[in-house]
Amino acid sequence: MADNYLEKKMEDYLSGIGSAKSKSSRRLEGLLMKNRSYRGYDNSYVVRPDQLRRIISVATKIPSARNSQLLRFRPVTHEEAAKVSPYIRLGGALRDLKLPFEGTEPRAFVVICSATAEPDHYVYIDLGIAAQSMLLQAVEIGLGGICIGAFDKQAVKESLALPYEPLLVVAIGKPNEKIELVEIHEGENKNYWRDEKRIHYVPKIALDELIIK
Hey, how many other C-beta atoms are within 10 angstroms of the C-beta on 178? 14
How high is the mean pLDDT of the chain? Answer: 91
Of 25, 62, 53, the residue nearest 138 (C-alpha): 53
Beta-carbon contacts of residue 181 (< 8 Å; ≥ 6 apart): 33, 201, 202, 203, 204
- pTM of the shown model: 0.86
CA 151 vs CA 32, 163, 204: distances in Å? 25, 18, 25
Hey, how many other C-beta atoms are within 10 angstroms of the C-beta on 206? 12
Band (pLDDT 50/70/90 cuts) for residue 142 is very high
Kindly tell me the sign of the dihedral angle through the C-alpha atoms of 132, 136, 137, 143: positive
Res. 17: pLDDT tops 80: no
